[in-house]
């Protein structure tokens, strides 16, 4: 199954984003639990987020992304890049208990 790196960037002021935030938060959480988004991350000094996606195709991923309120209301841009993982260090702190 393909793996995609998705970078989301807001394209409006933070104050315009606030009213759509509850629906936007539900979007990645739901897709995380359904197994489509195995990694979610907020950008520091919030300007968007980054996530990995595993879907059968780019088209399927686009259909999922199109349900995000930020996309529906055209307040964020999602850049999708298919990637091929070559190395993952299981000793990274994010994979081990502290």
* pTM of structure: 0.82
Residue-level pLDDT at 96:
59
Does residue 93 sit within a domain? no
pLDDT tens by residue, 20-71: 888 888 888 888 888 898 888 888 877 789 999 999 999 999 999 999 999 9
Place of tokens 């759509």: 20
Does residue 2 sit within a domain? no
Does residue 47 sit within a domain? no
pLDDT tens by residue, 60-82: 999 999 999 999 999 999 999 99
Does residue 8 sit within a domain? no
In 10 A of CB 93, how many CB atoms? 7
Residue-level pLDDT at 98:
46
Does residue 94 sit within a domain? no
Domain containing 77 equals: 13-40+61-84
Does residue 97 sit within a domain? no
Distance CA 92, CA 89 (A): 6
Question: What total of structural domains would you count in the chain?
Answer: 1
Residue-level pLDDT at 80:
97
């Amino acid at each position: 199954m393909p793996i995609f790196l998705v970078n989301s960037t807001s394209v409006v002021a933070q104050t315009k984003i606030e009213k759509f935030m509850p629906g936007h938060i539900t979007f990645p959480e739901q897709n995380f639990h359904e197994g489509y988004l195995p990694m979610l991350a907020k950008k520091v000094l919030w300007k968007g987020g980054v996530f990995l996606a595993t879907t059968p195709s780019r088209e399927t991923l686009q259909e999922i992304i199109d349900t995000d309120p930020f996309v529906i209301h055209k307040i964020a841009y999602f850049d999708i890049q298919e990637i091929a993982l070559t190395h993952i260090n299981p000793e990274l702190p994010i994979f081990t208990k502290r």
